[in-house]
Amino acid sequence: MVGMELPVMPPVSPMLAKAVKGIPDGKLSFEPKWDGFRTIVFRDGDEVELGSRNERPMTRYFPEVVEAVKANLPQRCVVDGELILVAPGGVRLDFEALQLRLHPAASRVAKLAAETPASFVAFDLLALGDDDLTQWPFARRRQALVQALAGARPPIHLTPATTDRELAGRWFHQFEGAGLDGLVAKPLDGLYEPDKRTMFKIKHERTADCVIAGYRVHTSGPDRIGSLLLGLYQADGGLASVGVIGAFPMARRISLFEELQPLVTTFDGHPWNWAAQHEGERPPRGSEYSRWNAGKDLSFTPLRPERVVEVRYDHMEGTRFRHTAQFSRWRPDRTPESCTFEQLDEPVSYDLNDVLGRS
């Protein structure tokens, strides 16, 4: 960033949203909730920095986005938005493929930039030229953003927005089929407040009955549960790893550890017995870890898959829960074999091109 001089300089923590159950009333602007990497773009001429939500720079991982920024954004600006990756065919988002873009090898970064290029969706303007816009109300910032991106072309996009609550409700249901994550509601008179939850997010919430097939211990001690590993049975009878439950009060982590000890088993005869050779490494699905936490040990203790739990989740990414599932209740009335993928809701298909306004 040698030579970069902007009225808003990196790093900046993005403004956040608090979860609400339904679409709120009031003087609000509604936008799709994009499922990607939250990114603030800083541009000063040929100097470009892509800052992440945790303030770590992502510039080196997305060289194609840097070039698109230079071609499409104003010469000096700071723009809040989301890095996304569109699946082959262009109809929905692919978060798993986006995660793979965070690779340490420069040669691999260049190859992935060509094979699976990312896009940037802009939804707020923090600075333009010499002006700091963070103290402007959002309605005024949005108007300035629309004008600033009037000539932008893919892979730079302006997020759709509406003040029509009824239309926002239709978006909430339609856009999920394109891989989006719900809605964000922004007060029209709201200032840009970094790291504060002054916006609202409305996400899909569903339930599923899953098999508990293992656990990981908590970082605070080996006698308490860190997370429970969830499985669903496939049509061929195999037990697929679909995600984890990880949020428990500390007292519950300790009692849960004691409660599950009678189910502890070996990998012999376990549905994930192939994981035995990786004990102490990263099973199950060892390649699927966060590159921000590459050193984290994800080994687990196998359990006899006899217990069923009802979990709350927002949506699926492939065959896994996109986010950590939430514990709802035990289901002693359900047999493990009845926990299949057939119970899951399938969102109505929707073309991502229609969301982005592409032909």
C-alpha neighbours within 13 Å on the C-beta side of residue 303: 26
Same domain, 174 and 237: no
Least confident of 113-117, 138-142, 353-357: 353-357
pLDDT in tens, 240-295: 999 999 999 999 999 999 999 999 999 988 999 875 554 444 445 443 344 434 44
250 and 169 in one domain?
no
Q: Are 94 and 117 in contact (CB under 8 A)?
A: no
* Segment holding 183, helix H or strand E: strand 183-187
Instruction: Answer yes or no: 33 catalytic.
Output: yes
Give the per-residue pLDDT at 179.
82
Residue 32 belongs to some domain of the structure: yes
Indicate if the pLDDT at residue 359 is higher than 50.
Answer: no
| pLDDT computed for residue 16 by the predictor | 95
Q: Is residue 359 part of a domain?
A: no
Tell which wins on pLDDT, 314 or 108: 108
Task: Decide which of 203, 226, 254 is a domain's last residue.
Answer: 203
**Contacting residues for 70 by C-beta, under 8 A, at least 6 apart:** 43, 46, 48
Do residues 198 and 211 share a domain?
no
Q: Are residues 336 and 288 in the same domain?
A: yes
Same domain, 82 and 126: yes
- Which CATH number characterizes residue 237's domain? 2.40.50.140
Domain's final residue, options 184, 203, 222: 203
Q: Clarify whether residues 153 and 212 are in a common domain.
A: no
| Same domain? 38 vs 141 | yes
Res 127 pLDDT > 70: yes
Catalytic entry in 18, 21, 33, 196:
33
Q: Is residue 8 part of a domain?
A: no
Asked if 301 and 292 touch (Cβ cutoff 8 Å), the reply is no
Same domain, 192 and 271: no
Q: Is the domain of 218 the same as that of 243?
A: yes
Tens-place pLDDT, residues 176-206: 888 888 999 999 999 999 999 999 999 888 8
Structural domain total, the chain: 2
| Residue in 142, 111, 110, 133 with CA at minimum distance from that of residue 28 | 142
pLDDT digits 0-9 by tens, 73-100? 999 999 999 999 998 877 888 888 998 9
Q: Residue 1: inside a domain, yes or no?
A: no
Bond before 155 cis per omega within 30 degrees: yes
- 213 neighbors 240 (Cβ within 8 angstroms): no
Q: Which domain holds residue 225?
A: 206-343
CATH number at residue 160: 3.30.470.30
Q: What percent of the chain has pLDDT above 70?
A: 92
CA distance 143 to 133: 12
Residues 148 and 214 in one domain: no
pTM score: 0.76
List pLDDT tens digits, range 282-332. Answer: 445 443 344 434 444 458 999 999 999 999 988 887 788 888 999 999 998
My answer on whether 105 and 148 are in the same domain is yes
Residue 317 lies in a domain: yes
* 37 within a domain of the structure (yes/no): yes
